[in-house]
Amino acid sequence: MPGWTLSFPSRIDLEKIVRAISDINPHITIHVVQNDDGFSGILVEDMHVSHSSLIRARLACEVSAVKHDQKKPQVAVFTCDCKHLGQVLKSTKAQYRLDIHGQDGSDEIVVESLDTMQSNYRSRTTLKTLQINIQEFTALKKMEFTYALRIDAPFVKSFLKNNSEMGAEDMRIKLMGSDDASQKMTLVQLQCTSSMSSDVKEFLSEDVHVASLEEEGEGDSMDLQPGDEPPSSEWEAKFTKELFSGSYSIDSILKFVKSVDARPVLLFKLSQSTPLLIESPLCSPNSSVFLLVSERVSDDG
């Protein structure tokens, strides 16, 4: 019977993806692809039942497929219970190689961990897969974003966690520009407001360039690096032109940042006409996981 094998140098990246999906769905559907525009590995996508947020991930790995039709990049699709798969991954040492084996037509996968340093240990766990309707991937290729902003991940996590505990539900992101053509800086404002408090963080960045951005980090993204100009009471007078403003769920973003254990920098992709996209690179090359979250609309419209 034709079969396939996925080989990961470590379980860490896959575990992050499973954790992120488990926040919005108890099941995870994994698409195995080989030589899909040069990419081999797994693709994952799931949408929250409220349709307010979506998580997509791509994780490169070695794909071995027996008697696979090379004209069709998709090798296999399978669905697992997030809790069960997550527990198996968690019980595996991070430094061990992780292999997942499957056979066409089978309702099982085998998760195998191997000690490649000493070659004296192997663990094999068989998991039942689930039979559910497989949804087509959401068409995101044509989404365009106007601005791209890189923000320190620990800062985002701390800022949202503190304000969530204070009762805030939304984070507003604003980009303010200047009418002065010689001004090369942009004022970035992050604000969380509750009935008891209002917390605003501001920093200056290099002038934002318009960028057409495609999914998973493709396209021209601009870094917004902190500027040299010190904090000033004159910022409000200098930066009066609103370039962007949007409000988003703290809960959705905070769960995502915690689940993927975000690396030093998060990439925010912004446009007034599209949901907010937050991308976190994974350890494996050509791999990332991102959250797409709709703007929150206030009760008064």
Alpha-carbon gap, residue 265 to 172, rounded angstroms:
19
Highest mean pLDDT among 124-128, 148-152, 218-222: 124-128
Strand, coil or helix: what is 164?
A: helix
Assess contact for 127 and 100: CB atoms under 8 A.
no
Torsion (CA) 240, 245, 247, 248 in degrees, nearest 10: -130
User: Is pLDDT of 15 > 80?
Assistant: yes
Query: Whole-angstrom Cα distance, residue 168 to residue 232?
Result: 27
pLDDT score recorded for residue 35: 86
| 280 pLDDT more than 90 | yes
Q: How many helices (H) and strands (E) does the chain have?
A: 5, 17
H or E stretch at 171: strand 170-177
Sequence spans of domains, the chain: 3-128, 147-293
- Cα gap 124→262, rounded to integer Å: 29
pLDDT digits (tens, 9 = 90+) for 190-211: 999 999 899 999 988 774 554 4
First-to-last C-alpha distance (Å) of the chain? 58
Q: Given pLDDT bands bounded at 50, 70 and 90, which one contains residue 140? A: low
Helix or strand holding residue 80 (H, E): strand 74-81
What is the band of 226 on the pLDDT scale with cuts at 50, 70, 90?
very low
Helix H or strand E segment including 175: strand 170-177
Chain centroid to Cα 228, Å, comes to 30
- The CATH architecture to which 147-293 belongs is Roll (3.10)
SS3 content of the chain, % helix, strand, coil (to 5): 15, 45, 40
Same fold, 3-128 and 147-293: yes
Contacts of 173 (CB under 8 A, 6+ apart): 188, 189, 190, 244, 245, 246, 247, 248, 268, 270, 276
Q: Show the tokens assigned to 299.
A: 């009760």
d(C-alpha 68, C-alpha 74), whole Å: 9
Nearest to 2 by CA among 75, 62, 73: 75
Lowest mean pLDDT among 158-172, 181-195, 204-218: 204-218
Range from 40-54, 70-84, 127-141 that averages highest in pLDDT: 40-54
How many other C-beta atoms can be found within 10 angstroms of the C-beta atom of residue 49? 7
Summarize the confidence of residues 132-150 as an average pLDDT: 75
Contact 270, 246 (CB under 8 A): yes
The pLDDT score that the predictor gives to residue 179 is 85
CB atoms within 10 A of CB 172: 16
Band of pLDDT at residue 225, cut at 50, 70 and 90: very low
Whether residue 299 is predicted with pLDDT greater than 80 in this model: the reply is no
Q: How confident is the model at residue 139 (pLDDT cuts 50, 70, 90)?
A: low
Please give the pLDDT value at position 61: 96
Question: Lowest-pLDDT range, 78-92, 116-130, 203-217?
Answer: 203-217
Give this prediction's pTM. Answer: 0.86
Which of the residue ranges 45-54, 127-136, 247-256, 265-274 has the most confident prediction, judged by mean pLDDT? 247-256
CATH superfamily of domain region 3-128: DNA Polymerase III, subunit A, domain 2 (3.10.150.10)
Q: Is the pLDDT reported for residue 213 higher than 60?
A: no
pLDDT digits (tens, 9 = 90+) for 33-61: 998 888 999 999 999 888 899 999 999 99
